[in-house]
Structure 1
């Protein structure tokens, strides 16, 4: 079984480096896919084609997607090699919903503001990578990531070809301390759109950087569950459509 890892915004495969090392230590194959995020002509179809080309070279795959990568993953999960789909702190899409539409459709801003206020932080502060993403990432690890590639606008505005969730077991992993996608918000979204309850780990939005050991353990437990033909976590609920007005990005 090979873990094929899809990064979030920016498409930087270095995000997965620590997790790849953890999985290799456990005897697993893992491949992090670089996405053409900086290409103004590339969007979800091109991202999916890039990932599919990697999946083509492996007979059995666990597809793992971080955050914005959850928009790409279901476009590839119909591949016959994919045995399991795992979404980590994900932007779970509805059919036809663009990443730009997702923010208003899910009431993300309200959820983020409420969580910030509950923690004593400014509820309407602009997104600050140090506060929202890297607050629990070791300083030396964070320093290596700040010069990563940027995401072009194309992926947020071009159409999403997803028409229904693929018929593959799907699991969600949430960071209990995620400031950008608060855990309550993720629970609601996973229940409403996939009919599943997330598995939660301590840590924030960037679990592969802050908790690679725990994330590898969790992924390994899912793989064992697949070998036992466990059905827990399979998407069952219908997905909901989103409105058409983009309000932000991740």
Structure 2
């Protein structure tokens, strides 16, 4: 399939405990539409890596590719704006993502944002309830092997370093079936911290796995 708009490169930033593999279905959809992708494993196994180190890993992977759209998922929302500040993309898309405040540490975000634990103990039901079982278990096994060595001490304790939100067109994409960051929480969080109304698609917290085609359609319709 060809695209009627100029090809872009989508820079895909995974969430905490995730990996670049989380994006593989979306990458295929975007490639079919004539676009490029960059997905990189964040340095979550390095206890000395700070937030700028995470951003630097993404910036290095993006290289000289342009134009760019940065897509940040979940915990990756803390990294996406840092990448956007470095790369000046055409857009920053926050996909069911944490929205940081200047000076706030990632560890502080949970209480300060007003997030309430959802009370769903089963990991699959919390994150993957709408993902086909075989696919979801394969992703969980892949990411779990990496998460076993995860050590994010510095990143979680480090104040978010930008003095303000980057001057980049920003969209927030809410997932209507998300059990981790529920629609009710997200709408308030986005209003309070970005002052915008989120866009919405169907899907749970891992919509790139449960609804990759709809997510690709949304991304490729952006200016």
Please confirm whether the aligned pair reaches a TM-score higher than 0.5, indicating the same fold: yes
8 Å CA contact 2:78–2:100 kept in 1: the answer is yes
Equivalent in the alignment of 2:151: 152
Matched positions, count: 210
Tell whether the 8 Å contact from 2:69 to 2:90 is kept in structure 1 after alignment: yes
**2:124 aligns to what SS in structure 1?**
helix
1:70 CA displacement: 0.5
Q: Does 1:53 align with 2:53?
A: no
Pick aligned residue for 2:32 from 25, 32, 35: 25
Matched, 1:35 2:34: no
- Note the C-alpha offset of 1:62: 0.3
Instruction: Give the alignment's TM-score, normalised by structure 2.
Output: 0.89
- Say if 1:56 and 1:81, in contact at 8 Å, map to a contact too: no
Q: TM-score, normalised by structure 1?
A: 0.80
**Alpha-carbon contact 2:129-2:204 (below 8 Å) kept:** yes
C-alpha separation between the residues in 2 aligned to 1:159 and 1:13? 25
Shift of residue 187, structure 1, vs aligned partner: 0.8
- Indicate conservation of the 8 Å contact 1:58/1:81, yes or no: no
The secondary structure found in structure 2 opposite 1:195 is coil
Going from structure 1 to structure 2, the CA distance change for 1:136 and 1:80 (only over 3 Å counts) comes to closer
Which runs of 5 or more residues in structure 1 are unaligned?
114-124, 227-250
Question: How far did residue 126 of structure 1 move?
Answer: 5.8
Match of 2:76 among 59, 64, 69: 69
- 1:181 alignment partner, SS class: coil
C-alpha distance in 2, partners of 1:33/1:15?
10
**2:17 & 2:179 partners in 1: Cα distance?**
19
Deviates more, 1:150-159 or 1:128-137: 150-159
**1:139 maps to what in 2?**
133
8 Å contact kept, 1:99–1:156: yes
* C-alpha distance after superposition, 1:33-54 (max 9, x if no partner): 2111121111311101101112
Where do residues 180-191 of structure 1 align in structure 2 (5 Å cutoff)? 180-191=180-191
Contact 1:67/1:91 (<8 A) preserved: yes
- Is contact 2:105-2:158 (8 Å) kept? yes
1:127, distance to aligned residue in structure 2 (A) = 3.9
CA 11–37 in structure 1, closer or farther in 2 if over 3 Å, else same = farther
Q: CA separation of 1:179/1:126 partners in 2, compared to 1, >3 Å: closer, same or farther?
A: closer
Partner in structure 2 of residue 96 of structure 1: 103
Of 100, 122, 134, 1:128 maps to 122
- 1:162: how far off? 2.2
> Which of structure 1's runs of 4+ aligned residues deviate more than 6 A?
none
In the other structure, the counterpart of 1:196 is: 196
Q: CA RMSD in A?
A: 1.4
Structure 2 gaps of 5+ residues are 1-7
The residue aligned with 1:170 is 170
The SS at the match of 1:42 is: coil
